[in-house]
Amino acid sequence: MWWMQTLWFIGGLAALVVGAEALVRGASKLALTLGLSPLVVGLTIVAFGTSAPEMAVSTNAVLGGQNDIAVGNVVGSNIFNILFILGASALIVPLAVHHQLIRQEVPVMLGATLLLAALGFDGRITLWEGGLLLGLLCAYTAYLVVMSRRQTAADASSAYDDELQPPSPGAWDARLWVQIALVLGGLVFLVIGSDWLVGASVAFARAFGVSDLVIGLTIVAAGTSMPELATSIAAAIKGERDIAVGNVVGSNTFNLLGVVGLSGLVAGADGLILSASVLNFDLWVLMAVSFACLPVFVMGRQITRWEGGLFLLYYAAYVIYLIMTARQDAAAQAFSTAMLGFVVPLTIVTLAAVWLMHEKNRDIQR
Residue 356, pLDDT above cutoff 80: no
Q: Does a structural domain hold residue 183?
A: yes
> Lowest-confidence range among 18-27, 286-295, 347-356?
347-356
**What is 159-199 written as a DSSP string?**
HTTTTSSPPPTTSTT-SHHHHHHHHHHHHHHHHHHHHHHHH
| pLDDT interval class at 211 (50, 70, 90) | confident
Q: Does a structural domain hold residue 137?
A: yes
Q: Does a structural domain hold residue 141?
A: yes
| pLDDT interval class at 84 (50, 70, 90) | very high
CATH of the domain at 78: 1.20.1420.30
Give the closest residue to 89 by CA, choosing from 315, 294, 255, 299: 315
User: Tell me, what's the pLDDT at 153?
Assistant: 47
Q: Does a structural domain hold residue 233?
A: yes
Looking at per-residue pLDDT, the higher value among 25 and 58 belongs to 58
What phi-psi label fits residue 209: left (phi over 0), alpha (psi between -120 and 50 degrees) or beta?
Answer: left
Alpha carbon dihedral 92, 347, 96, 224, in 10-degree steps, equals: 60
Q: Does a structural domain hold residue 190?
A: yes
Q: Does a structural domain hold residue 346?
A: no
Residue 209, pLDDT above cutoff 90: no
**Domain boundaries, position 154:** 2-329
CA distances from 321 to 79, 328, 345, 350, 362 (A): 14, 10, 18, 23, 39
* pTM (global) more than 0.75: yes
* Cβ atoms of 291 and 85 closer than 8 Å: no
Region 78-87: mean pLDDT is 90
Q: Does a structural domain hold residue 337?
A: no
Per-residue model confidence as pLDDT tens digits over 285-338: 898 888 877 766 766 677 888 888 888 988 988 888 887 777 776 666 666 666
User: Tell me, what's the pLDDT at 42?
Assistant: 56
Q: Does a structural domain hold residue 12?
A: yes
* Domains: count for the chain: 1
